[in-house]
């Protein structure tokens, strides 16, 4: 990495001081040699200047220079000096939104509105940013008589709308993990609504101080963006509960369920905040949720329990559960399909889910409060049904346990009372759910169960070594628990490892 000191000259610019450094380069405050102004001089580290890095560096200058908007950082010049690529850009005296804390709602909305306007302008010009996050919102210190201004920066991974995809040519996901859209993760086509999703994640952080997915491991975050319903503002701050439907729409897994523009999203947040919401703008994803689809095939994903012989079918279905986003009951792990949590209910469960929480208090704990087993975050996550008549209308609570190796342990506690399967006996229920493979039932003693639960997997797997297997199902012969079914899955782990975790579960009152 090149290091310059105060007073040094580079490409004619006089260095004042270093502003910061990142993965590929370093930024200095410098004096323009021809005009009386300070610039931010961004240098690409020669040691990291592989072809892709140079391409991204040049793309930032190309795309940003073509944009003329008061909320987008201006590019003044660029070049190559001593084999070092550089960009001279507008210096913004202030900070970035990623460093802000305890942001007032009105201030967060002002920042969001300005960034939304910048993004919509870029989208109309045919440019997608693809790395929208608070640290890329520069907050200029307000001058006397002027309001604070937010500017969007870092178009290093931007692309033109008509040629963009979710992956780089090397196959890596673009964008920052906490803010990346589901379609960027899955490699599906990306359009302007991907930037809107990232803006919604960013505004969520500014409003609540926390991200909509409370995990820190990058792999777990990618999984959460595609499969897990996000937290909503009211679950963290009850006074923001009226904003929940707006964020549910902007953070929808399917881009078609989001707002048309970033500006429309932020304007709706402001309208709801002011108590004059346009309810028609929210009707589609909130009142009429639809099952998640595999956009690459444009068809419904297969049910887990299709009546086709052979364990291979089950394996494909479970891979769909783990990879494509379809749960084992045929519904989508989608924010639109999950139960809407009423305001003020962040510490308790509704009447549909309370029986499970009462039956397994040590496992489930408080709703959305990281109080479950090993600090699990448990949420209402009903799968719904894609069939008529509905036969998968279980009430489900999904718990995610963060494990040290980074792969989350997912535990679904399902209540079949009131469903089409409510009258089935234990054998009939197992037969119904395992009609596509030869089940392997095991009666395993558990310290908190009077009768050993029935633990069921599919035969045909090496349970000590195979890590590509169906999940582990638990059925309860005890009449006090027979209404419940528990499903455990843990990517990249064997069934034996899952059973070891199962034996530690608090499966009782």
Residues whose CB falls within 8 Å of the CB of residue 82, separated by 6 or more in sequence, listed in order: none
Query: Does the annotation mark 131 as catalytic?
Result: yes
Show the tokens assigned to 251: 């953070």
Tallying the residues shown for the chain, one arrives at 509
Any idea which residue has 């003020």 for tokens? 344
Give phi and psi for 70, each to the nearest 5. -65, -15
Query: CB under 8 Å, gap of 24 or more: what pairs does 492-498 form?
Result: 492/407, 492/467, 493/407, 493/467, 494/462, 494/463, 494/464, 494/465, 494/466, 494/467, 494/469, 495/457, 495/461, 495/463, 495/466, 495/469, 496/463, 496/464, 498/471, 498/472
Catalytic residue, from 131, 154, 188, 327: name it: 131
- Eight-state DSSP code of residue 260: S
- 451 in Cβ contact with 477 (< 8 Å): yes
State the DSSP string of 188-212: ----HHHHHHHHHHHHHHHHHSS-S
Show the tokens assigned to 326: 């379809």
- 253 in Cβ contact with 292 (< 8 Å): yes
Residues whose CB falls within 8 Å of the CB of residue 374, separated by 6 or more in sequence, listed in order: 401
Distance CA 186, CA 223 (A): 10
Whether the upstream peptide bond of residue 389 has omega within 30° of 0, thus cis, is yes
Question: Binding site annotation covers 99?
Answer: no
- 494 in Cβ contact with 469 (< 8 Å): yes
Which of 172, 166, 175, 167 lies closest to 135 in space, CA to CA?
175
Any idea which residue has 């108590």 for tokens? 275
Binding-site positions for ATP read 42
Write out the catalytic residue numbers.
Answer: 131
Binding-site positions read 42
């Amino acid at each position: 990495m090149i290091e310059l000191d105060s007073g040094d000259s580079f490409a004619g610019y006089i260095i004042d001081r270093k502003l910061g450094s990142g993965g590929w380069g370093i930024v200095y405050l410098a004096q323009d040699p021809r005009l009386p102004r300070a610039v931010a001089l961004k240098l690409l580290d020669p040691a990291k200047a592989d072809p892709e890095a140079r391409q991204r560096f040049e793309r930032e200058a190309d795309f940003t220079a073509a944009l003329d908007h008061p909320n987008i950082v201006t590019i003044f010049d660029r070049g190559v000096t001593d084999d070092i690529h550089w960009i001279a850009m507008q210096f913004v005296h202030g900070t970035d939104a990623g460093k802000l804390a305890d942001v007032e709602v009105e201030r967060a909305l002002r920042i969001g509105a300005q960034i939304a306007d910048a993004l919509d302008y870029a989208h109309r010009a045919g440019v997608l940013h693809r790395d929208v996050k608070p640290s890329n919102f520069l907050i200029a210190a307000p001058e006397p008589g002027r309001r604070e201004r937010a500017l969007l920066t870092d178009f290093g991974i931007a692309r033109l709308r008509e040629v963009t995809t979710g992956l780089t040519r090397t196959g890596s996901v673009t964008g920052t993990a906490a803010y990346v859209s589901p379609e960027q993760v899955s490699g599906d086509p990306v359009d302007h609504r991907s930037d809107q999703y990232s803006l919604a994640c960013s505004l969520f952080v500014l409003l609540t101080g926390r991200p909509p997915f409370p995990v820190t491991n990058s792999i777990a975050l990618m999984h959460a963006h595609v499969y897990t319903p996000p937290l909503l503002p009211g679950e963290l701050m009850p006074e923001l509960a009226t904003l929940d439907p707006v964020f549910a729409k902007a953070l929808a897994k399917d881009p078609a369920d989001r707002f048309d523009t970033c500006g429309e999203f932020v304007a709706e947040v402001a309208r709801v905040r002011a108590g004059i919401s346009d309810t028609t703008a929210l009707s589609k994803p909130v009142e009429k949720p639809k099952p998640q689809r595999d956009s690459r095939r444009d068809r419904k994903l297969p049910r887990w329990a299709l009546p086709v012989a052979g364990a291979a079918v089950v394996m494909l279905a479970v891979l769909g559960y783990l990879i494509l986003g379809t749960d084992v009951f045929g519904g989508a792990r989608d924010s639109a399909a999950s139960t809407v949590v009423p305001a003020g209910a962040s510490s308790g469960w509704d009447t549909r889910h309370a029986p499970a929480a009462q039956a397994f208090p040590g496992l489930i704990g408080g709703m959305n409060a990281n109080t479950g087993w090993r600090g699990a975050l448990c949420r209402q996550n009903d799968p719904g049904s894609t069939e008529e008549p509905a036969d998968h209308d279980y009430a489900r609570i999904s718990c995610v346990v963060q494990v040290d190796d980074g792969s989350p342990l997912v535990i679904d506690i399902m209540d079949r009372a009131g469903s089409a399967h409510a009258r089935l006996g234990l054998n009939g229920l197992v037969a119904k759910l395992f009609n596509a493979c030869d089940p392997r039932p095991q009666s395993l003693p558990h310290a908190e169960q009077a009768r050993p639960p029935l633990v069921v997997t599919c035969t045909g797997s090496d349970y000590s070594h195979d890590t590509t297997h169906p999940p582990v199902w638990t059925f309860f012969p005890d009449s006090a628990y027979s209404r419940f079914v528990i499903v455990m899955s843990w990517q990249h782990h064997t069934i034996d490892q899952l059973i070891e975790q199962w034996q530690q579960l608090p499966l009782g009152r």
